Structure 1
Amino acid sequence: MRILGISALYHDSAAALLVDGKLVAAAQEERFSRKKHDAGFPQQAIDFCVRHAGLAFKDIDYVAFYDKPFLKFERLLETYLAFAPRGFTSFRMAIPVWLKEKLLQKTLLRDEMKRWIPDFDWHNKLLFGEHHQSHAASAFFPSPFERAAVLTMDGVGEWATTSLAMGEGSELQMVREIHFPHSLGLLYSAFTYYTGFKVNSGEYKVMGLAPYGEPRFKSTILDKLVDLKDDGSFRLNLEYFDYCTGLRMTNEKFDALFGGKPRKAEERLTQREMDLAASIQAVTEEVVLRLTRSVAQQTGARNLCLAGGVALNCVANGKVLREKVFDNIWVQPAAGDAGGAVGAAYAAYHGFCRQPRRVNGHLNAPQIDSMDGSYLGPEYAQPDIEARLQTAGARFETLPYDGMIETTAQALADEKAVGWFQGRMEFGPRALGGRSILGDPRSPSMQKTLNLKVKYRESFRPFAPSVLREDVSDWFDIDADSPYMLMVAPVVERRRRTMTADEQALFGIDKLNVPRSDIPAVTHVDYSARIQTVHRQTNPAYYDLISAFKAKTGCPVVVNTSFNVRGEPIVCTPEDAFRCFMGSEIEVLVVGNCVLLKEAQNPSLKRDYKGAFELD
């Protein structure tokens, strides 16, 4: 049985394909269209998934969409009626879009797909799952657990913003929900907006900024904005927000509460923004911890699965892990809306088609789930790589595998910035060693160099360490799998460096360039790190590279950031990788077995990449 899952027409459109219950392919449309967070119909992602499986479109048994457009339209309409006459201007602007994209979405989807499969039985074989059902299915069914509680937290689906489900075998039952407009995701997005970052894009920047500040507004948020109960349930005070009916997240009353108007994009960050970030991060962690405690108490479950955009908050995830109210935690690597495509397909396969579930792997095995390391996108054979690079005008040397690994490890040891393009592209927002820019974590200047000269992004943003799984507890205060870079843990005490009195007296981003450990490039200002454990079973080339780097340096850790510049989707093709290489200050590019040195390239191919993309 072949089921195609689709998420589309809001943000981060994607497609995923299940064949007889196995997830064989998944990709986001942005990687093909080169438009960040592309919300359009995922035509190219669908085409990739079907072709990768060696199928034709006529071979698809069901198409499953990740939410119910009519229910979403109902929520939008009821919200405006509830707040009328406030928001009439935005209502008048939005109605034509709603009629096309929400009320008539089923027709739109059918018309798009008919271009490929004109004879498909759309009346019976186009399925719709609820938004949080799709999220929950994406978290539970690929997980390694036979039984688990599933917590979904995001902005909003149709009505649900936070939900609890219970999964057992091939069954998934929704238990309880918190409904719009009371939303932890929208609360965090309100502060994303207020601190000058883009909603649905910049939330991870707020999380990265938080350690530079003090949570001095936490009590204000809990006193004025959020009525938080002991069990983690909550209600927002809507007097301070404008997202129900307006064209912005917050209002003048919010401004007055926090001492001024929202920061404008690209304005200089002040201590206020850092303290606001620290405060909303602290509140979010408090909500998530109370929710997970009550879920454990209510359900008796020993395993927890997480999905929804809030589940990408790896700092909160790390605190849940360390609290140990659950034995095991598994987070869907594409926890945001892109992962809804995976969940829609799984929900259709197990729920609608009543097919049995086969749990992949077991808890003591490095390969513990059915996501295959999230390496579910396109890959390129070596002859194809060479032909594409030659056509692009690249100058390269093709090395045997061992030589490629050795050369790359030496480049890292020499503190070079390395573009690394190997195997299948990752699904989800994190680069996991398939499409990554790598560096030496021991270098005190590497974080600043990569941010300002390679990624062209804000200097405060941290980088993640990729570490061999067997070495993780020797460097970080964690002894668990974190293959998807969704857990934060502190650097162990013996690897830390004590700051001087003068360094401790620094404030905010002045702290950035103070080395804090033996691996300063991946140690955040609070001694934390967003960890990716690397397993030979899921990514042998990346594992071999880090092992070779360890043999040279004694350090089993490398800096890992996504292979792109600010505002650009992660690279998908060898041509994308070469363009980014020539448009940034990456010094070495490794694509398959091909090694490219910047100084060997034709200077006329150099590109001005710094302003090539709309800033995220």
Structure 2
Amino acid sequence: MGKAILGISAFYHDSAAALIVDGEIIAAAQEERFTRIKHDASFPKNAVEYVLQEAGLVAEDLYAIAFYDKPLLKFERLLETYHAFAPKGLSSFLKAMRVWIKEKLFIKKALRKELKQISNKVPVLFPEHHLSHAASAFYPSPFEDAAILTIDGVGEWATTTISHGSGKSIKILRELQFPHSIGLLYSAFTYYLGFKVNSGEYKLMGLAPYGNAASLETENFKKKIFEEIVDLRQDGSVILNMDYFNYAAGLTMTNDAKWESALRLARRAPEAALNQSHMNLALAAQQALEEIIIRLARTAKEITGSKNLVMAGGVALNCVSNSKLVNEKIFENVWIQPAAGDAGGALGAAFAAWHIWANEERKYISTDKMQAAYLGPQFDVANISRIMHKYGATAERYDSFEQLTSAISKKIADGKVVGWFQGRMEFGPRALGNRSILADPRNPAMQKQLNLKIKSREGFRPFAPSVLAEDASCYFENAFPSPYMLFVAYLKEHLRKPLVSFDEQTDMYARLNSLRSDVPAITHLDFSARVQTVDKTSNPKFWQLIHDFKKLTGCSMLINTSFNVRGEPIVCTPIDAYRCFMRTEMDYLVIENYVFDKTTQPEFVERTSLFEPD
């Protein structure tokens, strides 16, 4: 048996576990997938159990355990921050102290308690939070040498770092510290626009294209952002005007009165109607983020001299800013960790332990080590049989996946919506063809149908296309491999429809429902799409399905959205998939080679929804 290192992230949000053996990834999963609690922050006991089981190990077999940050250093930051802002924030301080003293200060003890088989001989390591992010970005990347950019809310003190990775070493070169945070700045806009922090940032990104870039209001928002709320330096570092923020010592993100005075716009209440000013502010916030990231990238290039860039941290999931960065051509190559948020910190902690603590050499390969992010559990036929016994469900079995993909491609071409459950679950926030809901991108009504009848989410949210890798350049300008859905691309001119002229008083959904292209269900308002390129080698069954759809329709792509409803984690088990299927208006569910037809299922008596909207 090789040397196994368990990486863990826990106690903040998106708890996860990852296991590497002799520097190779064996398994990784988020705890939320098992508990069905979105962004679950609890100790990832189910994820730990899974990754050990995948490797055939018990805790006693481990070479080391790595936790993704330093709790004592984070506690120091908490104390110093409250001291600096005293007497403000007493209620927040008392609330935080109860949790810290009860749970978070004694993480090593908690780890040994949770992993009951572990002996004191197994070292427990605590790499810093942003080192874990940097390690998750660099060590699995396809580069021997790279600049590393990590951006999130906050770790211990660091909120942004620029590092240089070379061989097995990572050297942190620049660091931005709390309370000045690019991630928290973007989250503050998320909060002010009425979305939930740590889950609604992608909604802000999706809302931004509805903003009017030529509007005086948008320009004024940007002016106020950079003149009053944040001081952006030439190197990309920021100093936030803390008079505008309440997160350092309070229980909310923003000082609403200050924001309203500066922006002449009141904070939007959650679930309230969106107006053009909200859209313009979303655009201004997105453009501000892009400007900051591009300056940081130029600094990273200047101080590392590398031709490659790798990224992690929650802000690296902003696919629009990622694409703007690529288009600037500051670096020849850009690679982003697909589990860029805190979940990926578990993987980075394990890699940091292997290469830095254990001093093991890095085996460089020309493709990344993430195995297309298919690192979670898979399920056998016995699990499908349990659905049939539990619910009286009926299914048709296909003898080969070629027969299956041929049949399902016809159903999608006929306008049906299909839940697609195959192989190992994805690690990270994106569904990449193994836990996906699929539909026809040519159908003009499909975006509305999926948002309202399947996903139960806001109608303005766009959907992503999964396209055959070899055909991506037929549809998108400057197409390049994008297996993890972390970049946007713009539809080619010949596929676009002439835009209907709207003014700012036009209802958002009137604009949304205008026919914009030959594949309208995946075309955002600005002709962009968050693309996944599907390679035959990494996912042959998904590739074959899209290929069969192309043979039928001439279209080389499918809508691919995550297999869940709003507020629900992506499904993990076949039973999770069946429940989601029966609670929504999906037409078919495919689990491995079994096809469940909604019209032949018995009445489903469980509650319509178990999940709070996020």
Residue 146 of structure 2: SS of its match in structure 1? strand
Alignment of 1:411-490 (within 5 A): 411-490=411-490
- Could you tell which deviates more after superposition, 267-276 or 564-573? 267-276
The separation in 2 between residues aligned to 1:482 and 1:555, in whole angstroms, is: 19
Query: What is the aligned partner in structure 2 of residue 245 from structure 1?
Result: 249
Q: 1:268 aligns with which of 256, 268, 273?
A: 273
Residue 605 of structure 1: SS of its match in structure 2? coil
Alignment of 1:39-118 (within 5 A): 39-113=41-115, 115-117=116-118
Query: What is the aligned partner in structure 2 of residue 530 from structure 1?
Result: 530
Counterpart amino acid of residue 380 in structure 1 = F
Query: What is the aligned partner in structure 1 of residue 167 from structure 2?
Result: 169
The alpha-carbon deviation at position 107 of structure 1 amounts to 2.2
**1:230 to 2:240 alignment:** no
**Deviation sequence 1:570-604 (CA, Å, 0-9, x none):** 000011110001000000111000011110111x2
CA contact (8 A) 1:274 1:508 kept: no
- Could you tell which deviates more after superposition, 35-44 or 252-261? 252-261
Query: What is the aligned partner in structure 1 of residue 577 from structure 2?
Result: 577
The alpha-carbon deviation at position 52 of structure 1 amounts to 0.7
The separation in 1 between residues aligned to 2:273 and 2:405, in whole angstroms, is: 41
The alpha-carbon deviation at position 479 of structure 1 amounts to 2.6
The separation in 1 between residues aligned to 2:243 and 2:294, in whole angstroms, is: 26
Size of the alignment, in residue pairs?
604
**Deviation sequence 1:322-354 (CA, Å, 0-9, x none):** 111111110000000000000000000000001
Give the TM-score, by structure 1 length: 0.96
Residue 274 of structure 2: SS of its match in structure 1? coil
- Could you tell which deviates more after superposition, 253-262 or 186-195? 253-262
CA contact (8 A) 1:212 1:507 kept: no
- For structure 1, the 5+ residue unaligned runs are 363-367
Counterpart amino acid of residue 371 in structure 1 = M
The separation in 2 between residues aligned to 1:439 and 1:429, in whole angstroms, is: 20
Q: 1:336 aligns with which of 335, 341, 356?
A: 341
Give the TM-score, by structure 2 length: 0.96
Residue 521 of structure 1: SS of its match in structure 2? helix
CA contact (8 A) 1:72 1:102 kept: no
The alpha-carbon deviation at position 108 of structure 1 amounts to 2.1
- Could you tell which deviates more after superposition, 197-206 or 210-219? 210-219
CA contact (8 A) 2:147 2:164 kept: yes
**1:278 to 2:283 alignment:** yes
Alignment of 1:231-380 (within 5 A): 231-251=235-255, 252-360=257-365, 362=366, 368-380=367-379
- Could you tell which deviates more after superposition, 320-329 or 34-43? 320-329
Residue 531 of structure 2: SS of its match in structure 1? strand
CA contact (8 A) 1:144 1:370 kept: yes
Residue 252 of structure 2: SS of its match in structure 1? coil
The separation in 2 between residues aligned to 1:56 and 1:232, in whole angstroms, is: 45
The alpha-carbon deviation at position 488 of structure 1 amounts to 0.8
The separation in 1 between residues aligned to 2:333 and 2:60, in whole angstroms, is: 40
The separation in 2 between residues aligned to 1:59 and 1:4, in whole angstroms, is: 10
The alpha-carbon deviation at position 607 of structure 1 amounts to 4.4
CA contact (8 A) 1:389 1:575 kept: no
- Could you tell which deviates more after superposition, 172-181 or 387-396? 387-396
The alpha-carbon deviation at position 388 of structure 1 amounts to 4.0
Counterpart amino acid of residue 3 in structure 1 = I
**Deviation sequence 1:117-167 (CA, Å, 0-9, x none):** 2x3425xx0111100000000000000001000100000000011101111
Q: 2:131 aligns with which of 133, 150, 166?
A: 133
Query: What is the aligned partner in structure 1 of residue 215 from structure 2?
Result: none
The alpha-carbon deviation at position 505 of structure 1 amounts to 8.1
Residue 425 of structure 2: SS of its match in structure 1? coil
Query: What is the aligned partner in structure 1 of residue 508 from structure 2?
Result: 508
The alpha-carbon deviation at position 495 of structure 1 amounts to 1.0
Counterpart amino acid of residue 108 in structure 1 = A
CA contact (8 A) 1:306 1:330 kept: yes
Residue 501 of structure 1: SS of its match in structure 2? coil
- Could you tell which deviates more after superposition, 404-413 or 340-349? 404-413
The alpha-carbon deviation at position 384 of structure 1 amounts to 3.9
Query: What is the aligned partner in structure 2 of residue 33 from structure 1?
Result: 35
**Deviation sequence 1:29-66 (CA, Å, 0-9, x none):** 00000000000000000000000111122211111000
CA contact (8 A) 1:503 1:511 kept: no
Residue 456 of structure 1: SS of its match in structure 2? coil
The separation in 1 between residues aligned to 2:78 and 2:108, in whole angstroms, is: 17
Query: What is the aligned partner in structure 2 of residue 157 from structure 1?
Result: 155
Query: What is the aligned partner in structure 2 of residue 365 from structure 1?
Result: none
The separation in 2 between residues aligned to 1:563 and 1:372, in whole angstroms, is: 20
CA contact (8 A) 1:163 1:175 kept: yes
CA contact (8 A) 1:503 1:514 kept: no
Alignment of 1:577-616 (within 5 A): 577-602=577-602, 604-605=603-604, 607-609=606-608, 611-616=609-614
The separation in 1 between residues aligned to 2:539 and 2:558, in whole angstroms, is: 15
Sequence identity percentage: 55
Counterpart amino acid of residue 222 in structure 2 = K
Counterpart amino acid of residue 8 in structure 2 = I
CA contact (8 A) 1:589 1:597 kept: yes
The separation in 2 between residues aligned to 1:503 and 1:183, in whole angstroms, is: 36
The alpha-carbon deviation at position 111 of structure 1 amounts to 2.0
The separation in 2 between residues aligned to 1:395 and 1:559, in whole angstroms, is: 26
Query: What is the aligned partner in structure 1 of residue 224 from structure 2?
Result: 220
After superposition, the CA RMSD in angstroms is: 1.4
